[in-house]
A and B are shown apart, each in its own frame.
Chain A
Amino acid sequence: MENIEKNTAVQPEAKAEAPKAPDAVAPKVVKPAVAKPVPAAPTTPAENALDLVELTQDNFRQTIEADYQAGFTFLECLTGMDWGEEGLGVIYNIENPETGARKCYKIKTADRVNPVLPSVCTWYDIANIYEREAYDFYGIKFVGNPDMRRIYLREDWVGYPMRKDDEPEKFNPTRMTNEPLADETSGLMYDEDGVNYHTERSKIFEADDYVVNIGPQHPSTHGVLHFRVKLEGETIRKIDPVLGYIHRGVEKLNEQMTYPQTLALTDRLDYLGAMQNRHALCMCIEKAMGVEVSDRVQVIRTIMDELQRIDSHILFFSCLAQDLGATTAFLYGFRDREKILDIFEETCGGRLILNYNTIGGVMADIHPNFQKRVKEFIPYMRKAIREYYDVFINNVIFRNRAIGVGILSKEDCISYGCTGGTGRASGWHNDVRKRMPYAAYDKVQFNEVVRTEGDSYARTLVRMDEILESLSIIEQLIDNIPEGNYQEKMKPIIKVPAGTYYSAVEGSRGEFGVLLESRGDKSPYRLHYRSTGLPLVAVMDHVCQGHMLADLITIGGTLDYVVPDIDR
């Protein structure tokens, strides 16, 4: 697929070099003709450009404290950065979940040898893990974060791979020794005066704790995830997640790729949200460049996103059933999922990795059968859902294992940044489709499914109801796909104007965001993905405490994380 992208990118260039050929000579392309070239770089700032306020070490903590008090309690995204000469730093996106107001800050330090920045751990629970990520990639130490261990890479890894001047491969051959896992950690903590700091050591596990490893090879961790679980009898006392078994270095790879090439990797992050992930990146680049895509594309993308959401939720149901021992339900789910894959396959050519969205449109127009097939699917799926309730969800065994298990409060969800169905099951209205409407979502009627119980059962029901909502969105759009181009004409080499941009879509399991910093080159300077799953893993420790070991499977299954998206 990537090859095709490259080819289409190269051909128009060759044409442009030739002396202006009359239009009639140009080879006739497929039915919806390709339209006029894109206007030059926009003069007004792009719709999704971030308005970065630079803070200094002195006023940082006061500003964040004031914002937190003013209701900015959701840390949407924390991005480590390497600005080369200017030093290392971090970009923060924060949001007020009540009003939807958003702010973003940046802070940097010129010290590349021993970079130290203040932590935001005291306000946001999720910051602990985000800051460990920034430490892992950039070596930035955060004062106030008690746990500065690497998170993705091995503890004996040398260097900080995301730094522009680091050569990760030079010092890091594939080590075949077993991975060292320390029981101790350290962090920089402020002294009494709040300015100076000292190193503080702390224990993750005591010497006589009973610790069980779950994963990395375990059938119900949904991928290669590793939990170190401290038990007391059968009761969970603490969970320490060890990540990075599928850390593929996507963000670093992006920095050497051209924009059309970077698209290919988004599908492989959260492969159950392939359409949405790619949509987010395409949208981010398009908005940054000021490219308007046609209504046809918007509607097609919306339908595809919703189909993907249904696909993902069916898989959620199947895997949860499988993990809890209900094999029949698993087979039912996969039977219905194949119907969606057939629809995808006709139009996109792929089943799982779809490579459908492109910058400025979609790869190919919808297949002539598309509408017919989708219309057949909608009533079929409605019937199937009733079956799901019969075979599994209303089953007394499942109800006993799920009701009241793993309760998350709304405040916890916000503080840990658990978006998507998990947050909505706890009463947090966080649907990006409503918060920041994109594509055709402002043209359709749908309800944001929200429950208040916050337990595993509620999380399951939210997803089942979301399938119905998605079906109704598709139903409204499928007969009204407007005419238009399926692909805007783009320049052969795509360059995004310098700046920092953020766009988000509602992925299958939460807000999937793309933070793009461009310096006007043909590849991004920094491309960071807001993972939908990382907050869900971070919250595991909090939500599992006091539950039985067997409940860990139910809770993990209903939180619904996908590991390659966490590790990136």
Chain B
Amino acid sequence: MMKKPKIKNIPYEEFKDNETFEQLVAELNQNGTNVIVRTLDELIDWGRSNSLWPLTFATSCCGIEFMATCAARYDIARFGFEITRNSPRQADVILVSGTITTKMAPVLKRLYDQMADPKYVVAVGGCAISGGPFCKSYHVVKGVDQVIPVDVYVPGCPPRPESFLYGMMQLQRKVKAENFFGTTNRKENDPYSLKMDKENEQILNELEEA
């Protein structure tokens, strides 16, 4: 008997479902997105998704598997992820591989804040997803999603290099379904644009009243 794993965010049936993403793309395109803009979007997304630069960030065991993924046999360069950056300011994606403790949490948040948009987060391994084997500990954050927004979860303890690659490919798909021009369809709201929206609304209201 096979037990269906429970995966946060994505229902099991949708896990291998390419359609959802394609639909999303189609829908966005339908909703009045301009033809020229659309082509540019795709070009940009294609470029972006194939040159995601990860931040060298590893706190424990999963980090060693990440190194193995970068090395000769699994060769992460095939996907364009090989340029690991040591500075968050140059990185596009942070692979949280390893346990995040409460002492580390503010540091992680700060690293994330220092990254330039668009930025993505992959939670690698049981520890980053939920605290893993240490979830009962007094000093471990029970999942990095409590600290920063996560795009892709890669389960395992540690995940095999193949899972890393699979997770990164999921992230690529996510990037490909993204708008660059016009509105952004990312999960969390950009605080700056939110503020601008509000201000614009206020001005409009005032104009109407006048």
Of A175, A337, A352, which is within 8 A of B102 by CB? A175
Q: Which residue of A lies closest to B57 (CB)?
A: A217
In chain A, residues 246-269, which have Cβ atoms closer than 8 Å to a Cβ of chain B? 246-250, 252-253, 256, 264-265, 268
Please state if B68 and A174 are interface contacts (CB–CB under 8 Å).
no
Smallest CB–CB gap between A344 and chain B, Å?
A: 13
Expressed in whole angstroms, the Cα–Cα distance for A253 and B135 within the complex equals 10
Tell me if A's interface is mostly helix, strand, loop or mixed.
loop
Chain A window 327-348, contacts with chain B (Cβ cutoff 8 Å), 1 for yes, 0 for no: 0001110110110010000000
Q: Which of A176, A217, A253, A564 has the most B CB atoms < 10 Å from its CB?
A: A217
- 17 contacting pairs across A/B (C-beta < 8 A): A154-B102, A154-B103, A161-B139, A174-B147, A175-B106, A216-B107, A218-B86, A219-B86, A247-B139, A249-B140, A253-B137, A272-B64, A334-B71, A338-B72, A352-B61, A352-B65, A563-B60
> Given known contacts A176-B105, A249-B137, A253-B136, is B59 in contact with A224 (CB within 8 Å)?
yes
Known: A219-B86, A265-B133. A335 touches B71 (CB 8 A): yes
Q: Which residues of A contact B68 (CB under 8 A)?
A: 334, 337-338, 341, 351
Report if A353-B72 is in contact (Cβ < 8 Å); known contacts: A174-B105, A247-B139. Answer: no
The yes or no answer to A165 lying at the interface (CB within 8 A) is no
Once A245-B101, A351-B160, A353-B157 are accepted as A-B contacts, the answer to whether A219 and B61 lie under 8 Å apart by CB is: no
Residues of A within 8 A of B140 (CB): 248-249
Residue from B61, B63, B109, B160 within 8 A of A268 (CB atoms): B61
Binding site for A on B (CB under 8 A): 56-61, 63-65, 67-68, 71-73, 86, 88, 98-99, 101-107, 109-111, 133-134, 136-141, 146-147, 157-158, 160
Say yes or no: B111 contacts A217, CB within 8 Å: yes
In the complex, per-residue mask of A236-247: 1 if CB is within 8 Å of any chain B CB, else 0 = 000000001111
4 smallest CB-CB distances across A and B, nearest first, come from A334-B71, A168-B138, A249-B137, A271-B61
Assembly CA distance A379 to B33 (angstroms): 63
Give CA–CA (A564, B60) in the complex, Å.
Answer: 6
Instruction: List chain A residues, Cβ under 8 A from B138.
Output: 161, 168-169, 172, 249, 252
Q: Known contacts A338-B68, A353-B158: does B99 contact A246 (CB below 8 Å)?
A: yes
Q: Is the CB of B103 within 8 A of A245?
A: yes
Could you say which of A2, A153, A223 contacts B59, with CB atoms under 8 Å apart? A223
Beyond A153-B139, A250-B134, A268-B133, 10 additional contacts (C-beta under 8 Å) are A154-B103, A216-B107, A248-B137, A248-B139, A248-B140, A264-B133, A271-B64, A318-B71, A330-B71, A332-B72
Which residue, A153, A174, A338, A351, has most C-beta atoms of chain B within 10 A? A174
Bound form: Cα–Cα A253–B73 in Å: 36
A487 CB to closest chain B CB (Å) equals: 23
Q: Which residues of B contact A564 (CB under 8 A)?
A: 59-61, 99
Q: Which residue in chain A gives the minimum CB-CB distance to B104?
A: A245
Of the residues B111, B139, B158, contact of A249 by C-beta under 8 Å: B139
Interface centre among B65, B109, B138 (most CB of A within 10 A): B138
Check if A178 is an interface residue, CB within 8 A of chain B.
yes
Residue A104 is within 8 A (CB to CB) of chain B in the complex: no
CB proximity of A316 to chain B, nearest CB, Å: 12
B72 pairs with A334, CB closer than 8 A: yes
Given contacts A175-B102, A247-B101, A271-B61, contact A217 B107 (CB under 8 A): yes
Q: Tell whether A179 is near chain B: CB-to-CB under 8 Å.
A: yes
Question: Given A174-B146, A217-B111, do A352 and B106 touch, yes or no (CB 8 Å)?
Answer: no
Query: Cβ of A400 < 8 Å from any Cβ of B?
Result: no
Task: Name B132's closest neighbour in chain A (CB-CB).
Answer: A268
Does A244 contact B101, Cβ atoms closer than 8 Å?
yes
Can you name the residue of chain B whose Cβ is closest to the Cβ of A242?
B103
Interchain CB contact under 8 A, B141 and A174? yes
Q: How far is the CB of B72 from chain A (nearest CB, A)?
A: 4
For A152-190 the 0/1 string (1 means CB < 8 A from B) is: 111000000100000011001011111100000000000
Chain B residues with CB under 8 A of A169: 138
Q: Which of A152, A176, A264, A337 contacts B106 (CB 8 A)?
A: A176
- Tell me the A424-462 residues at the B interface (CB within 8 Å): none
Question: Cα distance A178–B108 when bound, in Å?
Answer: 11
With an 8 A cutoff between CB atoms, is A326 at the interface?
Answer: no
Alpha-carbon distance A247/B101, docked complex (angstroms): 7
**In the complex, A154 Cα to B138 Cα: how many Å?**
13
Residues from chain B with a CB closer than 8 A to the CB of A174 are 102, 105, 141, 146-147
* Distance of A119 Cα from B138 Cα, bound (Å): 28
CB-CB nearest in chain A for B137: A249
Distance from A522 Cβ to chain B, minimum over Cβ atoms (Å): 17
Which residue of B has the minimal Cβ distance to A173? B102
Tell me how far the C-beta of A186 lies from the nearest C-beta in chain B, rounded to whole angstroms: 22
A381 at the interface (CB under 8 A from B): no
Q: Which residue of B lies closest to A355 (CB)?
A: B157
The residue in chain A whose Cβ has the minimal distance to the Cβ of B158 is A352
Task: Name which of A2, A218, A245, A331 has the most chain B CB atoms within 10 A of its CB.
Answer: A245
A248 and B101 within 8 A (CB): yes
B54 to chain A, nearest CB (A): 12
Nearest B residue (CB) for A226 = B107
Residues of A close to B133: CB separation below 8 A: 2, 264-265, 268
Which chain A residues border B57 with CB–CB below 8 Å?
217
Shortest Cβ distance from residue A308 to the other chain B in the assembled complex, whole angstroms: 13
Across-interface contacts of B59 in A (CB, < 8 A): 223-224, 245-246, 563-564
Nearest B residue (CB) for A167:
B138
- Chain A proximity of B189: nearest CB distance (Å): 19
CB distance from A500 to the nearest CB of B (A): 25
Q: Is A315 on the interface with B (CB-CB < 8 A)?
A: yes
| Assembled-state Cα–Cα distance A539/B192 (Å) | 47
Minimum Cβ distance to chain B for residue A454 (Å): 28
**Contacting residues, chain B, for A330 (C-beta < 8 A):** 71
CB-CB under 8 A from B65, the residues of chain A are 351-352
Q: Which residue of A lies closest to B139 (CB)?
A: A249
Q: Known: A330-B71, A334-B73. Contact between A253 and B134, CB under 8 A?
A: yes
Task: Give the CA-CA distance A246 to B60 in the complex, in Å.
Answer: 8
CB-nearest residue of chain A to B70: A334
**A248 lies within 8 A of B134 (CB):** yes
